[in-house]
Structure 1
């Protein structure tokens, strides 16, 4: 007995409504006698399936049947709805019609447990359109054309086969095959200035496992930082490394920071509340940059 075929028969009938044994026989490529045996097994499992004779007769499942009674546990139903709600939350629209339908079928009410807001706290400019365009391009397997602001400070035009959206370290990334570089690349969504879905399609490729672990900075600097207690909330919020505290309430963190301009902008975001303890060369570089900044404000 093919258990997979039994599920497919139930799903087919739920979608189509009334059908016939010859139709099911042709659909699933088995004999009519096998279809009737399958119907008996499905019925014995508790699914209210009926057969009527005559001109308008056929095989059908009771309209009041809900799948949860026979196929899913209460926990499984909740997981399905919660997972679906998590997907819809990134859509930025009130596209909850599918949730409503599944909730009615499962006879449970969906709980609003997640919301994804792409707007920036400062600029309040949503990146929702970029996210949705990429998501749609992934679904239909179409090449996208983007203008991308690279870490070298230049804007380049790229043709990309979009493969996967990744959320890592508070940022969204697109993983795809860059047709310009002829290699797989990560693109930070906030650096994508324009995006167009082209008519060209591409064949899907296998995505390496754990690709999100490949998002990394090639070179880092082992840094010891000292923070005063006024920014303790940020320290405990942003550092998963061990945080130590002295008698005055100052906080110390040993962390690897990327050897790039990001390091300086990140340090300066703490204003006067942070001090680089080690290494010495980084202290000197910060001191030099502070002098350069100070020169800009001399009148």
Structure 2
């Protein structure tokens, strides 16, 4: 356990530069006194760690010192190749670099770990996009990623869902995100400073400008994305449906877009089940038209009780289907 912690301390200082004892203690989840002892142990082992005194001080390594990739556990070595994403890396223009990095990493690993890491890569593969959909065309992804990396402003034409459909704006791109096979870029608008997420596939053209920008202090892409997705999902909910639904209906609901959240809400709002296992409950929905399609997909295992507009729309559709499929009714080709 202590050996792992010593290696972690060394790698932290190597990758981040100067760190205070308190910062190291927070990262390693130990006391400052433990950090002092660990630093002494590393120094005694010949690691050139030294401390700068004062408010801006901290521990750092002698310039030019780099540790080799030793001390990796079997699980850590295997996990390095489990996170490889050749498809997304290629889309970002980094496919060649990723392959070269893997080769260098394999060469640096001991023989036993190298064998296990290669076995992991051979047996597990990540395919991010969903079923029955082609990958979106993102010809400008590499340009956006380059602007993110080099902190350069971009000017672009963007296609959006509301009028005017095409707009031209300048953005400070702060990051790119791959979500369920769809690429997004998070950017700050140059005119008003608002930070939002946009689809990369909606970019019609991109010009990377020579001017650089400063990132917002304390901006963390993962934290922003987590908050943005929660706000986006909550913003889709505009109403509520009252239903009677069977256990089989809940199972079918699970497989629709947004189904897990709908099932969770249905269980939380459910009244006691009747003798057949059906429950009365309330389910959040986006809007009437979307809920109409969702509940029709569940079939006869759900009865919509309200709102009246939704119930009437489903009743109309069911009546129309009944007339089409009624015994003896002419088929469409016969009517033509």
TM-score (norm 2): 0.52
Check if 1:75 corresponds to 2:75.
yes
Give the whole-Å Cα distance in 2 for the aligned partners of 1:170 and 1:60: 40
Q: Summarize deviations over 1:237-268 as a string: whole Å, max 9, x none.
A: 34222467988898987432335xxx635743
Give the whole-Å Cα distance in 2 for the aligned partners of 1:151 and 1:290: 31
1:194 is displaced (CA, Å) by 1.7
Check if 1:103 corresponds to 2:106.
yes
Higher alpha-carbon deviation: 281-290 or 235-244: 281-290
Give the whole-Å Cα distance in 2 for the aligned partners of 1:148 and 1:290: 40
Where structure 1 has 5 or more consecutive residues not aligned to the other structure, the ranges are 10-36, 44-58, 292-298
1:226 is displaced (CA, Å) by 6.7
- Tell me which residue corresponds to 2:185: 174
**1:227/1:250 contact within 8 Å kept:** yes
Higher alpha-carbon deviation: 132-141 or 276-285: 276-285
2:168 to 157, 160, 163: 157
Which residues of 2 match residues 4-23 of structure 1 at below 5 A?
A: 8=14
TM-score (norm 1): 0.57
| Closer/same/farther in 2, CA of residues 165 and 73 from structure 1, 3 Å limit | same
Q: Summarize deviations over 1:197-241 as a string: whole Å, max 9, x none.
A: 412321222325732223324352122467899987752234222
Which residues of 2 match residues 1-299 of structure 1 at below 5 A?
A: 8=14, 41-42=46-47, 67-68=69-70, 71-83=71-83, 85-86=84-85, 88-92=86-90, 93=95, 95-107=98-110, 108=114, 109-110=117-118, 111-112=120-121, 113-116=124-127, 121-122=132-133, 124=134, 126-153=136-163, 154-167=165-178, 171-190=182-201, 192-199=202-209, 200-205=211-216, 206-207=218-219, 210-211=223-224, 212-215=226-229, 216=232, 217-218=234-235, 220-224=238-242, 235-238=253-256, 239-240=259-260, 241-242=263-264, 254-259=282-287, 264-265=289-290, 267-268=292-293, 273=298, 276-284=304-312
Paired residue total = 238
**1:264/1:286 contact within 8 Å kept:** no
1:98 is displaced (CA, Å) by 0.7
Give the whole-Å Cα distance in 2 for the aligned partners of 1:213 and 1:5: 31
The structure with the largest helix share of the pair is 2
Give the whole-Å Cα distance in 2 for the aligned partners of 1:252 and 1:121: 34
Partner SS for 1:255 = strand
Give the whole-Å Cα distance in 2 for the aligned partners of 1:246 and 1:177: 53
Where structure 2 has 5 or more consecutive residues not aligned to the other structure, the ranges are 1-8, 16-41, 49-63, 268-272, 320-335
Q: Summarize deviations over 1:44-101 as a string: whole Å, max 9, x none.
A: xxxxxxxxxxxxxxx999xxx9622xx3322333333433x14x44123464221121
Give the whole-Å Cα distance in 2 for the aligned partners of 1:8 and 1:134: 30
| Closer/same/farther in 2, CA of residues 136 and 185 from structure 1, 3 Å limit | same
Give the whole-Å Cα distance in 2 for the aligned partners of 1:91 and 1:74: 25
